[in-house]
Amino acid sequence: MAEGPFSHLAQTLRGAAPAIEPPTRANVSLLPPVFQFSQNSLQDYADCARRFQLRYVLGQRWPAAVSEPIGEYEEHTERGAHFHTMVRRYYLGLLDDPAPPEDAVLRQWWQAFIETPPEGLSESIRLPEMEFSVPLAGQRLLARFDLLTIDPGERIVIVDWKTTQHRTARHILERRLQTLVYRYVATKAAGHLFGGTIAPEQVSMVYWFAIDPLNTEVFTYSEYEHEQARQELNGIIREIEQRGQAEPTSPWPLTEDEARCRFCEYRSLCRRDVPPGSVGESLIEGDSGGFDFDLDEIDEIAF
């Protein structure tokens, strides 16, 4: 049977990964052979090259808690994971227990989602927790989306659930690499959803905040931004490759912003006399990069 224009989409819905030809991989021995760049790994490098080296190149297990108190940080992370699981099951039609959660905070988040979901999403196709990997700079760039909503051939809306205790400011979200990576990957991978290309102007991203569901942040996209994203992401990956070749064993540069060290699990290895930050403080910061549950924090799996 001949394939129709949405055959790739049908494969995706059946759980089969569309065939994507891998690029010719650059000879970068410093990274594991199955490594894929993601918004988290790229953000780590942008925040602190040494943190990227310790985490991804050397595989250093973290010697310190991300923030204190440890129990409160772990509780918040688990709560965020639980919320994401509930939303995924909701969109898959698998949420067989409509009773609200016993946890008071999680119950508040869930009620906010049920009563005030993001507006303007496609009713046609809604795919929770989808992942796509696209070639870039001889490497792979991976994005795990909380939710993709699709009007075939017309538009893609990316939704990201934010469960921080305080709403993240737009200017912070705008400069986070998540906003750049997700729109870029969605646009590049669109052919495997539609069986054809889609213009960047047909892609947008919505941040939904459990603490403030009425005030989402929406980022549109354009051909100019798509090209700028390609150049910026390509530049970061090339810089990592060059640094790895020039400084394979020497410590990479530390961030100049020592405030970031307060929320870094490697701070004790860098000999900086910086006390750990608190969970409440880190969640207010909104720019520390690791205090909201994120699908990209799961071990990366090849697409």
The C-alpha angle 292, 209, 108, rounded to 5 degrees, equals 95
DSSP state of 261: G
Dist. CA 299–CA 106, nearest whole Å? 25
Taking CB atoms within 8 Å and a gap of at least 24, the contacts of 220-229 are 221/183, 221/187, 223/199, 225/183, 225/200, 226/183, 226/184, 226/187, 226/200, 229/180, 229/181, 229/183, 229/184
pLDDT for res 245: 87
The pLDDT score that the predictor gives to residue 6 is 35
Per-residue pLDDT of the chain (303 residues; tens, 9 = 90+): 444 433 344 344 334 333 333 333 344 457 887 899 999 999 999 999 999 999 999 988 876 555 455 566 678 788 899 999 999 999 998 876 655 678 899 999 999 999 999 998 988 889 999 999 999 999 999 999 999 999 888 899 999 999 988 889 999 999 999 999 999 999 999 877 766 778 999 999 999 999 999 999 999 999 999 999 999 999 999 999 999 888 878 999 999 988 888 888 888 888 777 666 655 554 444 444 344 555 554 443 332
Q: What is the rounded distance in angstroms from the CA atom of residue 163 to the CA atom of residue 76?
A: 9
Please state, in angstroms and rounded to a whole number, the distance separating the CA atoms of residues 263 and 265: 7
Distance between CA atoms of residues 21 and 34, nearest Å: 15
Q: From 104, 95, 105, select the one nearest 211 (Cα to Cα).
A: 105
Domain spans, the chain: 31-297
pLDDT of residue 223: 97
pTM, whole model, 2 decimals? 0.81
> What pLDDT, on the 0 to 100 scale, is given for residue 9?
40
**Selecting from 3.90.320.10, 3.20.20.70, 3.30.70.270, 3.40.50.300, what CATH number does the domain 31-297 have?**
3.90.320.10
Buried-exposed string 166-196: b where 16+ CB fall within 10 A, e elsewhere: ebbeeeebeebbbbbbbbbbbbbbbebbbbe
Burial of residue 47 (number of CB atoms within 10 Å: 0-12, 13-18, 19+): buried
Measure the CA–CA gap between 265 and 66, rounded to whole angstroms. 5
pLDDT at 232: 97
Nearest-Å Rg of the Cα atoms of the chain is 20
